[in-house]
């Protein structure tokens, strides 16, 4: 962990802080975690050539000391800009580089000569995962797969969507998940046609499709998995939809490799579904990056113009959602390499399960 943070800090100092009159400012909490290891609320991280500061409310000073190495906690004043300006002045800083939109406002607020916007510098670095990050993501997905297998015994007529969601989350936390990567989705029957539906008091009925989308978090790193199962035998249309989504999903997982763009991968899966008459019912992008956030770069969608890199982690999650009928989504998280992928969610069966 510390070695990862030291490597990231050294990279910033090498590429950005090449003299002692420059400072790099981070305000995004996920980028802060990536660089420092600190997980609490903050005003800003300030890095100079020789010193590291984290500006926080007084409630978090001890947390900074325990979670970081060589970072000085600074208690913010009522006006956070004043606190930052004082650090700039005491360090004789004349150039600020970092996550902001308006260089003019930065110069005015912090009384420096120059401001350079590098809003995506850290975000872009986060795409390629270090080994420590990959190990954490593997662990988070292992917990998630185990939770899926555990909850299958509870999926039966009469049980509510909320019951299933609670069982998943309880199991994950009992087995090492720090919290959930996002609000757990459990939707059944015609409600499964809602890609991001919220679990409800609806009771499962015989014949219902049940879509479960959830993820554990291990040491700040997220998992993401979706499976759709059936309570009793599905009707012919839902069986057809399931098999089509499964075909698109498995073929696309085999297709993914470093160097392809998100547009290309999305189009590959979309063509399979469209050629079978369900293109209008695949209403979201194919996938997204996963790391400290459950949705981060790169994008596997029509907006994914950047080639996918080796050691990035992405999801492959086609879906078909037909109103008043039902929906199916199947999702794996994968580590991308030069020739293919490592599937992180392979321990959760994707075959059509009738419970």
314: domain CATH number is 3.90.230.10
DSSP line for 259-270: T-BHHHHHHHHH
Q: Do 51 and 136 belong to one domain?
A: no
Which pLDDT does position 3 carry in this prediction? Answer: 84
Q: Do 109 and 164 belong to one domain?
A: no
Whether 349 maps to a domain, the answer reads no
Whether 225 maps to a domain, the answer reads yes
Q: Do 7 and 62 belong to one domain?
A: yes
> Domain tally for the chain?
2
- Identify the segments of the chain with pLDDT beneath 50: none
Q: Do 69 and 149 belong to one domain?
A: no
Q: Do 181 and 205 belong to one domain?
A: yes
Which pLDDT does position 199 carry in this prediction? Answer: 98
Contacts 24+ apart (CB under 8 A), 14-21: 16/97, 16/118, 16/121, 17/47, 17/48, 17/49, 17/97, 19/49, 20/48, 20/49, 20/50, 20/91, 20/92, 21/92, 21/93, 21/94, 21/95
Which pLDDT does position 30 carry in this prediction? Answer: 97
Range of the domain at 240: 131-343
Whether 350 maps to a domain, the answer reads no
Whether 353 maps to a domain, the answer reads no
Q: Do 263 and 290 belong to one domain?
A: yes
Whether 204 maps to a domain, the answer reads yes
The overall average pLDDT reported for the chain is 96
Which pLDDT does position 340 carry in this prediction? Answer: 98
Whether 177 maps to a domain, the answer reads yes
């Amino acid at each position: 962990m510390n070695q990862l943070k030291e490597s990231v800090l050294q990279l910033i100092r090498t590429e950005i802080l090449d003299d002692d009159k420059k400072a790099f400012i981070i305000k995004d909490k996920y980028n802060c975690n990536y660089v420092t290891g600190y997980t609490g609320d903050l005003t800003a991280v300030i890095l100079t050539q020789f010193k590291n500061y984290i500006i926080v409310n007084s409630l978090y000073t001890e947390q900074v000391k325990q979670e970081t190495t060589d970072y000085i906690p600074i208690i913010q004043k009522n006006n956070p800009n004043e606190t930052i300006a004082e650090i700039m002045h005491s360090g004789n800083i004349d150039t600020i580089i970092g996550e902001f939109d308006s260089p003019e406002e930065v110069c005015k607020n912090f009384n420096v000569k120059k401001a350079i916007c590098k809003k995506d510098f850290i975000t872009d670095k986060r795409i390629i995962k270090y080994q420590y990050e990959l190990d954490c993501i593997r662990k988070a997905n292992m917990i998630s797969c185990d939770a899926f297998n555990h909850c299958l015994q509870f999926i039966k007529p009469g049980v509510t969507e909320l019951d299933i969601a609670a069982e998943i989350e309880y199991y994950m936390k009992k087995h090492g998940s720090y919290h959930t990567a996002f609000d757990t989705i459990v939707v059944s029957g015609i409600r499964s046609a809602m890609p991001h539906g919220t679990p409800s008091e609806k009771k499962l009925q015989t014949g219902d499709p049940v879509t479960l989308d959830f993820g554990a978090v291990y040491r700040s790193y997220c998992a993401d998995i979706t499976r759709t199962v059936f309570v009793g035998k599905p009707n012919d249309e839902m069986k057809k939809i399931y098999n089509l989504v499964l075909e698109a999903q498995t073929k696309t997982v085999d297709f993914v490799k470093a160097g392809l763009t998100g547009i290309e991968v999305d189009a590959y899966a979309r063509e399979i579904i469209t050629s079978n008459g369900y293109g209008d019912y695949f209403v979201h992008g194919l996938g997204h990056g996963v790391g400290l956030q459950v949705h981060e770069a790169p994008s596997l969608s029509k907006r994914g113009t950047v080639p996918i890199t080796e050691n990035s982690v992405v999801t492959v999650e086609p879906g078909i959602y037909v109103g008043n009928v039902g929906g199916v989504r199947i999702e794996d998280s994968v580590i991308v390499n030069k020739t293919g992928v490592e599937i992180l969610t392979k321990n959760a069966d994707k075959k059509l399960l009738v419970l």
